[in-house]
Amino acid sequence: MPAPTSTGQALVEESVDDRVARLERRFGDPADPANPLGFRALLAADERHELLGAAGELLDAEGFGAELVPAALGGRLVRADTLARFLRPVFRRDIALGFGHGITSLFAASAVWVSGSPEQQRSMARLLRGGGRATIVHRSLAHGSGLLAGEVTASHRDGGHRLTGSKDMVINAHRADAMVVYARDDPAGRPGTGTHSVLVLEPGQLPPGRLLMLPRKATNGMRGCYFGGYAFEDCRIPDGALVGAPGDGVRLALRTFQLNRSLIPAAVIASVDTVLRTAVRAALAGRGGGIGGRHRPLLAGVFADLLACDAMATAALRSLHLVPEGAHLAAAGTKYLVPDLLRDDLEELATVLGATGYRRDGSPGDDERGALSKLLRDLPAAGLGHAGTAACQAVVIPQLPLLARRSWFRAAEPPDAVFRPGAPLPPLDLGGLGLAGGDDFLAAALTATARRIGDRRDLGEHGFALKTLAQAFTGELWKLHDRCREPAAGDRAALSSPEMCALADRHALLSAAGAVLAVWERQSGADTFLADPAWAVLALSRLGGRLGLALPGPPEACVDAVLREAVGRFRAGISYDLYAAPLAEEGGGP
C-alpha cells in the first residue's frame, strides 16, 4: 500500500479525532448526576441488571455497528487502533455496555470477516450495519469458568450438519440475530486434522423446537449484560453455514482472537482512567488543593501504568497491520498482562477513595465509589479471569524455546511506525495474520532501544535512571533466554509446568518494557510530556518491581513530573492515555 501523503494523513486523523470527540461529547460528563448517560444513570441500570437503554440508543444513532464492519463490506473498520479509540468513550463509562452493546458482535463476526463466503460476509455486514447483534458460542476452554464451560458438537450425516449440546452462558443469547458457533466435530466423522468447525447461523432459520433458549444467568460482573444460553437438540443446520473449511475452528480462533486480545485491554484502559480521575479529584480536595504524602507516588504510579498499558496495547494493535507474522505474541502478552496491571491499579486507587462495595444511598461521592465498585466486579468478568490468562499462556509458552533459539537478540527491529500512535497504517487484514512463529518484535524493540539510549548523552536529568532500567531489562531478557532454551519446543509435559508459566509472565513484563521504551523513544526530542523520560522511568520501575529486579526506587523528580501531568490533565479534562484526548468533563477548575 502506498504511503499516504502527509495532508491525507492529517485528514484521516482529524476525522478519527472528531468522531471520538463527538461520541465523548454526546455521552456528556459522566460525573454529572443530572446526565441521563452519566454514572448515576449507568449504576442504576446496573442495579436493575440492565444496560442503560439511552446509552445503547446513542451508540445506534452514532452508527456504532458500522465501526465493526470492514470498509470493503461497507463499514468503517479500517484500523484496529482507531476502533480501540472509538471504544474508549464507551468503556470509560461502562464495560458491560462495551461488551453487551458493542464488541461481542465483532468477536463473533471476525471469523466471518476472515474466512466467510462472500454471501456470509455480505449478510453479516448488512446485519451489523443495520444495528443487529451477533453473538459467539465459544468452544470449551481449559479451566473455563461458567462463561466458557460447555460445548456444542457438530455431526455430519444425511448430507448436512447437526448440532447437539448446550452452552450455558452466551452473551445476548436472547436477542442475537446471528450466532457464530465454535462446534466440536464429532470424532467419528471428523473431516480434517482440526477438532472444531465454525458455523454461522441465524436463529430464525433453524428448524422449530431444536434450539432452546436457556434461562438468563446471574453474574457478579457485567451484570447489566444478558447472559442466556443455548441448547441444541439434534438441530439440523441449513446448508452454507460452515465458515471456512471443516476443522478450521481452532486456527480461526488463534487468528481472530488476536484482534480481541489487543482491543479489550486497549479499551479497558479508559475504564481505569475514570477512576484515576476521581482519585485525583479526591486527593486534591484534601489539603488545600495540593496532593501530599502517600498519594503522590500512588497516583503518579497508576498514571504511569496506564501509559505503559497503552504503549503495549497500541503496539499490539498496530502490529496487526505492520507485523502480521508476529502480532499473535504481542496480542497474547497484552491480554495476559494489562488486565492484571489494571486490576492492581484499581485496588491501589481504592485506598484513596475509601472502601468499596457499599450500597449507594445518595451520600456525597456515592456515584464515584459505586463506579469503582462496579468496575472491580466487571473487570475480572471482562478478562475472563484465570481461563483468559491461561489461554494466552497456551499460545506464548510453546513459542518461548524457539524464540530463545532464534529470535531474541537476533531479530531485526519492527517498523518504526509500530510505536507511533496515530501514524498511518495499511488497512487491517485479519486473514494475513500469522498464528505462531515469527519474531518477537517487542523483545527486538527492547534490546535495540536499550542499546541506542545507552549511547545517548542528551537525556536530561532522568537519563541515568532510564539507562539503568533499560540495561536491567536487557539483562533480564538474557536470563529468560538462558532458561527458555532447555525444553524442546514440542515437549508438552515440560511446557505445562509452573516454571514455564512463570517464564511467560516474565516475558509479558519484558514485552511491556520494550513497548514503553520504544514508544518513549519515538516521542523524545519534542517538547512534550511524553518526550520526557519521567513517565517511562516510573512505568519501568514498576514493571521492574514485578520482575523482582533489584533496582533503586524512581527519582522523586520523576514522580513529581508525572503527578504534575496527572493533575494538569485532570484540570484540563484530558484523557490519561497516549492520545491526550479531550473529555466531556469540565475539568477541575484552575
- The residue among 6 and 220 lying less far from other proteins, judged by its C-beta, is 220
Cα–Cα distance for residue pair 380/339, rounded to 1 Å? 8
- The residue among 306 and 453 lying less far from other proteins, judged by its C-beta, is 306
Q: Decide: residue 56, CB within 10 A, 0-12 exposed, 13-18 middle, 19+ buried.
A: middle
Contact between 221 and other proteins (CB under 8 A)?
A: yes
- The residue among 555 and 582 lying less far from other proteins, judged by its C-beta, is 555
Shortest spacing between CB 1 and other proteins, in angstroms: 27
Cα–Cα distance for residue pair 449/453, rounded to 1 Å? 6
Give the residue, chosen from 114, 125, 137, 211, that forms a contact with other proteins under the rule CB under 8 A: 211
Beta carbons within 8 Å of 75's beta carbon, 6+ residues apart? 65, 66, 67, 68, 69, 125, 128, 129
Checking DSSP bridges between strand 196-201 and strand 242-243, what pairing results, if any?
antiparallel
Give CA separation, 542 vs 367, 510, 512, 513, 539, in Å.
Answer: 30, 12, 11, 10, 5
Q: Where are the extended beta strands (E) located within 130-226?
A: 134-137, 151-157, 160-171, 178-185, 196-201, 211-217
Query: Could you say which residues in the range 532-551 bind other proteins, by CB under 8 A?
Result: 542, 545-546, 548, 550
Give CA separation, 5 vs 9, 111, 579, in Å.
Answer: 6, 33, 21
Residue that the C-alpha cell 480536595 belongs to: 285
Query: Could you say which residues in the range 58-117 bind other proteins, by CB under 8 A?
Result: none
Query: Could you say which residues in the range 20-59 bind other proteins, by CB under 8 A?
Result: 49
Shortest spacing between CB 181 and other proteins, in angstroms: 15
Contact between 164 and other proteins (CB under 8 A)?
A: no
Shortest spacing between CB 519 and other proteins, in angstroms: 21
Residues binding other proteins: what is the number (CB under 8 A)? 97
Query: Could you say which residues in the range 504-523 bind other proteins, by CB under 8 A?
Result: 504-506
Contact between 358 and other proteins (CB under 8 A)?
A: yes
Query: Could you say which residues in the range 370-399 bind other proteins, by CB under 8 A?
Result: 373, 377, 380-381, 384-387, 389-391, 393-395, 397-399
Checking DSSP bridges between strand 151-157 and strand 178-185, what pairing results, if any?
parallel
Cα–Cα distance for residue pair 224/151, rounded to 1 Å? 24
The answer to whether 440 touches 91, Cβ cutoff 8 Å, is: no
Query: Could you say which residues in the range 248-307 bind other proteins, by CB under 8 A?
Result: 250-251, 253-254, 294, 298, 301
Shortest spacing between CB 258 and other proteins, in angstroms: 12
Angle made by CA atoms 310, 313, 319, in degrees to the nearest 5: 135
- Rounded to the nearest 10 degrees, how much is the dihedral formed by the CA atoms of 566, 284, 268, 65? -90
Contact between 188 and other proteins (CB under 8 A)?
A: no
Which range touches other proteins (CB under 8 A), out of 34-42, 53-61, 110-118, 496-504?
A: 496-504
Give the residue, chosen from 122, 210, 564, 571, that forms a contact with other proteins under the rule CB under 8 A: 210
Query: Could you say which residues in the range 449-488 bind other proteins, by CB under 8 A?
Result: none
- The residue among 321 and 374 lying less far from other proteins, judged by its C-beta, is 374
